[in-house]
Structure 1
């Protein structure tokens, strides 16, 4: 395989550049991310379709990753129960070193070839579920070994990688290869690869939640009322959708039922 993510930066002597030059060049490199994702949309669409089908049938999704990509998947997953009102445990993350050690960034754990599968077994992983490996290089041992075990156990697998023809893509039924090119700082895959991963996570989670009926029109009608800002947003959504004019009345109805969706159902909307 060609390790494009490890190829030399297209820029030399970064330490001699001005702030203006550095930010301009980084911005120019970031402009390459969206076109790279666009080329991979057919692969991504197949993966999202499979995820939605698994979740709709009562299964679970697991991101499986290490390093920057794994940590970014944690940020995506933790938002979903609040934003879309889904049960905790529907979308999960198996992170090398453990999610509880997120801020410690134990990079050495990505070489552990047993921990990923052990963690999935602790969740009683089955063929009802889907596991999505995350690896910029496409070679991370933690991810690769666990995906191979998943395949042997009949668990549906996908991946998000940034090099073509990688072992992790070969081990996945639904690979997504997003080739963003050499990084601005050679090998620093938290940059363009990380940006691409964040964008893809947004696409996966948002599209999946919409397909599962957690969004109506363009609104978060199942959002959990966990603070004043979100409650205010939900009140305004309810007022707009139900044609209510009085804020305090709408808020009382919302709080009585716990979500915009439930309030709308009670109102016959």
Structure 2
């Protein structure tokens, strides 16, 4: 602290008057602080220069998109199964046709049934020509019976599956279905595919589950929709209907809303009256 200082060459020390020692101490500390402040200011100026020069690159917007190519058949099946099991909100699909082999359809029905049981929003649009074949209609009837919303469109552009609105699956080349399957992740791309799907959905019509050429209300309801409407007419709640049919209450509400739209009813009661008048329920 400068309270003593050496004298001569023999190492002797003499005391320093305290006020003088403190003054000298504070002046030396102030000098060091001024040097540190100058160093900090210089570093700040250099940092600002670097930030100004490189900020455009650092702030450039990046797009988080992942694209996977899955070519092996077994890997494709396992990847689709994984996506089905990991979905939490919805699974929308559209298929121009033709339908895949029976064993593939059987696996697909199992996965769709699991999704519906968990209360997910499951939709499927098929090309109208697909429903012309009796075997295909049988499959679509099974699909609708699970609680999947099935529709037919005059034109479906290509196969597409949307999981939770965050993952899209499609063929890498629509004209060659055996080519690698594309799996895309990334919200930046999903808006386009969702809009495309909703456009096809809006231009499609509910699958009736009956042979072509029928008209009127009876052709509008699938067997599952008829079951829901009949149980609603009996006064059961959504939860009770769900337990009776083995589906979730959310699916019951969705089916009821769809039936109301198809019959042009403003309420469930009115839907029941209209359905009874059309002979759709007992």
Shorter chain as denominator, the TM-score bin is: under 0.3
Question: Normalization by structure 2: what TM-score?
Answer: 0.25
- Which is greater in Rg? 2
Q: Which has the higher strand share?
A: 2
Question: Normalization by structure 1: what TM-score?
Answer: 0.25
